Structures are given as C-alpha cells and as structure tokens.
Amino acid sequence: MNSGNMKASQKKFADAITDYNSAIELEPKYGMAYLYRGAAKAQLNNYKDAITDFDKAIEINPKHGLAYLYRGIAKKSLEDDDGACSDWKKASDFGTNTANEYIRDYCN
C-alpha cells in the first residue's frame, strides 16, 4: 500500500495500481486498497473500473464515507448526476464533510 501511495503521489498511477493489486492479492478484504486503486483508475479516466473498486470498498465497509465521495465523483464524470448526488449524500451522512461542497455545487 505504501509503495502504491508513493507512486500515486508521483502521478505514476499505472504503477500504483500494480502495487494496489498486490495488496489486494495479499489481503482481499482490505477496503483501503480498493479505495486507492479506484482513485488511481479515476485519475486515468477509467471511471467504470474505478466505480467497481469503490463498490468493493463499500461492500467491505458500508459506512466508508470517502468511498461514497469518490464513487460520486466518478459517477459525475460519467454524467450520472442522480447517482453522484446520492453517493455524496451518503458520504456526508457518514461524516465526509467534503461531500457537502459537491452537494451544494451539483445537487438540488
């Protein structure tokens, strides 16, 4: 995970994904690995696969506000405004305050 995070911070997203894949192979129930891998995929504009990873992070921890936030951003990028707003509202409910900015800017 740390290696993946370092590579992501250097904008080496494909390499980061490889490291996150390794973390997931070692611990398939490690939700943060799915979260970060999804974020790296989103940085590469691979929003559909990113959403799949965010879905898995949420499956592992249904109260993971950051996963809902990121999934909402990915959905917005795919023009799924209703899905994005729904996810941001859940993120806010679970204490991810940044979601409130997205709700204010994009949701009715």
Mean pLDDT per block of 10 residues along the chain (108 residues) reads: 97 98 97 98 98 98 98 98 98 98 95
Which two tokens mark 56? 């898995």
The single-letter DSSP state of residue 45 is: T
Which single residue is written with the structure tokens 């898995």? Answer: 56
In the chain, domain spans:
2-106
Query: Which of the four CATH numbers 3.40.50.720, 2.60.40.1930, 3.40.50.800, 1.25.40.10 does domain 2-106 have?
Result: 1.25.40.10
96, 64 in Cβ contact below 8 A?
Answer: no
pLDDT of 108 reads 80
Tell how far CA 88 is from the center of its chain. 12
pTM for this entry: 0.96
Helix axes 31-43, 47-60, angle to 10 degrees: 160
Phi and psi, residue 30, nearest 5°: -85, 90
**Furthest C-alpha separation in the chain:** 42
